[in-house]
Structure 1
Amino acid sequence: MIIQGFYNIIDKTLALQFAAPDAMKDPFYVDAYNALNHFTGSQIVTEIPLKEMQSYINIATQYASQTYNLQWAFSVMMGMGAAMNFSMAYGRRNITKMKELSGNGFTSTILFSCITAFGVFCIVYPGWNAVFITSQMGSHYNVITEHLCWTYTIPLLAAAPLMFLSYFFMSMLRSEGKMLWVVLMIVSSLLVNCGAGIFFMHVCHLQLSGAMMGTVFAWLVQIIWGLIIVFGVKGSYLKFGWKDMLFLKWQNIVAFMKAGLPNFINNAALVITSFALTTLVVQLPNQSYNNGISILQELYSSITPWMTIVLSAGIGLTQGARSIIAYNYGAKKYNRIWQVLKRVSILIIIWFTLMLVVFICFGGLMMQAFAFPKEYVPQYRWWIVINFMTYPCCAFTYIALTLFQGINKSMLGTFTSSLRTFLVILPLIGIGYAVSMATGNPIYFFVFIGLNDLISSCIIVPILVHYWFKYRQKLVDLPDDFRSTSINEETFKDSLEHLSKTEVTAAKEQTTPPTKKQS
């Protein structure tokens, strides 16, 4: 999953390098730039300075990332929900149910992607005021960033089924234990993303649309890999038939949504939080403006890709652990659940602590990687550290989500995951904004945001401790007790063939006339 998190960084980096040189000469952007700066006569320019165009692209991709993440949240809900239900059926060795869930999940994912894409289109289309984009600009409306954002979003909406199916296949294959295949899918698609993105921007001159086209082709590669593995690799329980795909069962769709709801809330709340941050940060007092763009908005845009990387690693660890826990929960191997949770908890805590150290040591360089003005780095690099100062406590959120979703306690998993992403962070954003406006110092906005994970962990840790003391005596592995409906298909077929031969032999004996000796 950490490799998956590089998509945002790759798209943004390639766009700054290959889309900016074309966009700075685009007549539409040049005319808008002259009008925005009120240039007349000899002041009128024929191309926008490269650094300024890169600043516009930096902000535009930040706006567009909200759209991407919103659509991604729905894809995770369906993909992860189907995978969790598949894992529990896998733990019970119910082959028929596994195939049914796989086929139903495939079809419902496609249908749900089309509905989601239309809903997102309604709030980002410039002809309908693009309320989801323009509202993030506050009173500093900029037609350049709006148009850049829209061109980046068009391929995303058109290829929504590819996004959903790519995540569906990766989640299902991960649940079946085919981790090496999943890694191969992601690494190969990442290379395709780089190559296709450069081709569409540098050769085809599609600007930001080309950057997203690279990601679209990466999704397509993942889907092709998924189909090959499911239908071409011997012994895959994900292989479904036309009946499994066409005859949808409503209870399966509800089960997908219920199991994936904590993931959706977690990701959707991140979109809401990021939207609120982007909207309010531009209104903070006593801040500088660079080419009409809020310097604090540029700061936030430059650190968002790194936040995605950090969280992607945590999500990846928990997704793998959740599938294993769900499998063992279905098989009633409760001690194994504890062993898996213990190991993944240690890894998550180490990861988030290490990332805080990285932000402290290399925060300035990380800011400059995404066109943040170099002259402002000494002033604002420590603001990043303040923003991430309690990140190690974030580990407890992912530990709770791993446990409760893995043992099918969706509501509790939803509550614990929504603390840092919604219930705690939004009040802190409001308080930080109010204190900053009252004192005239915007740093308080980042101070209160930095307290988010600490406060959330203070609520989650007692819940985890309660469940430990309640169930620690029951952490034993129960013996396997498989039913005949769940036995291996080949064994079942062999039994049928043997039974048929026995019946035929018995029938022949009954119809054969008795010999003289027998009479």
Structure 2
Amino acid sequence: MDSKAKALELGQKPVGALLWQYALPAIVAMTASSLYNIIDRASIGQLVGADAINGLSVTFPFMNLSAAFGAAVGVGASTCISVKLGQRDYDTAEHLLGNTITLNLIVGFLFMTVCLLFLDPILRFFGASDVTLPYAREFMEIILAGNIVTHMYFGMNALLRACGKPRHAMYATLFTVMMNILLVIAFVWVLRWGIRGAALATITSQTLALCWQLWIFSDPKELIHLKRGIYGLKTDLVKNIIAIGISPFLMNATSCIIVIFMNRQFLSYGGDMAVGAYGIANTFGMFFFMIIMGINQGMQPIVGYNYGAKHFDRMLRCLNLAILSATAIMVLGWLMAILFPSEMARIFTKDAVQISLAADGILINMLLFPLIGFQAVTTNFFQCIGRVKISIFLSLSRQLTILLPLIILFPMIWGLNGLWAALPTSDGLAAMMAAFVLWKYMRDFKVGKV
């Protein structure tokens, strides 16, 4: 099947089969990526020690912030391309590809430069102590040096999915993960390079995968491919990319803000061990949330294409299937958190105090996990159809208007347990808000107001 036929099938093939076809590779890729993160952090915690895993937890805001800028370009561009393919405007889709390359290079370089210049003050602000700062600095120096590669790698994967190549995106991620694991074994377990070895393994594997992605897009037989004349930034295209990408940008940027506040609060109420416990609980929770992201990635080209082609019945069918699938995944995560919290914590550390803190955190953090799948898919749906303001509102409602006040107020009343309890409370309130907004939109949609 050629590239044009693959794009057209988004509006013709049964929606259930399409969602499975597009989401499964993304789910496999995201699950593999999550497993790598677990192996990476477990290796550091087991071989280097509790202080190293505590220091690695401090770097999470950097990851969120980098992902925010990457999503502003990658997700925005892939959504625009999906809509243009639905409209069969292939020339504009090709220029969107070129502009994505240019924007990733610019944003990646600027982010790297600014962060490296002010690395220590930023890490201090993120919650690093005198003990954890050296570990966090060692890791981030290498990660930031390869930031352009990271931006390009994730951006190209998003474009592969938008262009009807979900399996290629999966192969790129699986290759990255397997290479990461092999290099972690070599750099951390064999050569004993510690936390720097883990960072170097990440950047090296992403660089190799990026070379393959660019080779795919260099093929003239592809529906949209790299060629001269498409890299110059066009104001209208950049505006469209940023207009749609602003929602995932703000989602990741606010996650960065929240993690910073959480780290500082955990440091204040429980010390470095509590910061590390939060990092462990966050990693475990993100394993399941990354599967939801895989479902969202599979949903994005289907919803975007059918919205652009005005096949609204197919668009809504895809939304319903995505919500059901995401909810089922989160119920599984909830059951594991209820039944095996201590076992999950022991994967990352040998320290008894940290195991106890992390087990409690995993249990409380995932208390209302079944509701998160619905909220995440609903937010992504509005992004896919270009309803950016609604998507931004739902993204910010959980992070800033609900969770941020709670992580300040609850610890004042209940101490460390109150800080943990703020997370599921915000999940429940955000899911209720998403349900109301989706109900209102569907009611207006049926009467032709939207």
TM-score class, shorter: 0.7 to 0.9
Residue identity in the other structure for 2:215: I
1:133 aligns with 2:123: yes
CA distance in 2, matches of 1:392, 1:318: 16
1:466 aligns with 2:444: no
Equivalent position to 1:229, from 213, 216, 224: 216
Deviation of 1:164 (Å): 0.6
Task: Name the CA shift for 1:116/1:311 in 2 (closer, same or farther; >3 Å).
Answer: same
What CA deviation, in whole Å up to 9, does each residue of 1:331-357 have, x standing for no partner? 111111011101001001111121111
Residue correspondence of structure 1 range 274-289 to structure 2 within 5 A = 274-284=259-269
Task: Name the CA shift for 1:150/1:376 in 2 (closer, same or farther; >3 Å).
Answer: closer
1:266 aligns with 2:251: yes
Residue correspondence of structure 1 range 133-152 to structure 2 within 5 A = 133-137=123-127, 141-142=129-130, 144-152=131-139
1:367 paired residue number = 345
Whether contact under 8 Å (1:64, 1:153) holds in the other structure is: yes
- Specify which structure has the higher proportion of helix: 2
Deviation of 1:93 (Å): 0.9
Percent of pairs with identical residues: 19
Task: Name the CA shift for 1:193/1:87 in 2 (closer, same or farther; >3 Å).
Answer: same
Question: Secondary structure, in 3 states, of the residue corresponding to 1:408?
Answer: coil
Deviation of 1:320 (Å): 1.9
Question: Secondary structure, in 3 states, of the residue corresponding to 1:154?
Answer: helix
Equivalent position to 1:253, from 232, 238, 243: 238
CA distance in 2, matches of 1:334, 1:305: 37
Residue correspondence of structure 1 range 347-358 to structure 2 within 5 A = 347-358=325-336
Residue identity in the other structure for 1:241: K
What CA deviation, in whole Å up to 9, does each residue of 1:43-87 have, x standing for no partner? xxxxxxxxxxx0111111111222222112211211111111111
1:511 paired residue number = none
Question: Secondary structure, in 3 states, of the residue corresponding to 1:223?
Answer: helix
Unmatched 5+ stretches in structure 2: 1-29
CA distance in 1, matches of 2:287, 2:163: 25
CA distance in 2, matches of 1:112, 1:221: 21
TM-score (normalizing by structure 1):
0.77
Deviation of 1:197 (Å): 2.5
1:30 paired residue number = none
Aligned residues: 420
1:304 paired residue number = 282
CA-based RMSD of the aligned residues comes to 2.1
CA distance in 1, matches of 2:180, 2:357: 35
1:443 aligns with 2:430: no
What CA deviation, in whole Å up to 9, does each residue of 1:121-165 have, x standing for no partner? 2442xxxxx222223447xx32x4211111111111111110011
2:301 paired residue number = 323
Residue identity in the other structure for 2:222: S
Question: Secondary structure, in 3 states, of the residue corresponding to 1:244?
Answer: coil
* Deviates most, 375-384 or 83-92: 375-384
Deviation of 1:361 (Å): 1.0
Residue correspondence of structure 1 range 64-143 to structure 2 within 5 A = 64-124=59-119, 130-137=120-127, 141-142=129-130
2:20 paired residue number = none
What CA deviation, in whole Å up to 9, does each residue of 1:404-423 have, x standing for no partner? 11111111111112222222
1:412 paired residue number = 390
Whether contact under 8 Å (2:86, 2:309) holds in the other structure is: yes
* Deviates most, 62-71 or 356-365: 62-71
1:241 aligns with 2:231: no
Residue identity in the other structure for 2:159: M
CA distance in 1, matches of 2:444, 2:275: 46
Whether contact under 8 Å (1:175, 1:320) holds in the other structure is: no
2:12 paired residue number = none
What CA deviation, in whole Å up to 9, does each residue of 1:257-277 have, x standing for no partner? 111111111111111111111
CA distance in 2, matches of 1:432, 1:336: 43
Residue identity in the other structure for 2:212: W
1:189 paired residue number = 176
Deviation of 1:14 (Å): 2.9
2:315 paired residue number = 337
Deviation of 1:317 (Å): 1.1
Deviation of 1:231 (Å): 2.2
Residue identity in the other structure for 1:468: M
TM-score (normalizing by structure 2):
0.88
CA distance in 2, matches of 1:379, 1:309: 19
2:155 paired residue number = 168
Residue identity in the other structure for 1:352: M
Question: Secondary structure, in 3 states, of the residue corresponding to 1:5?
Answer: helix
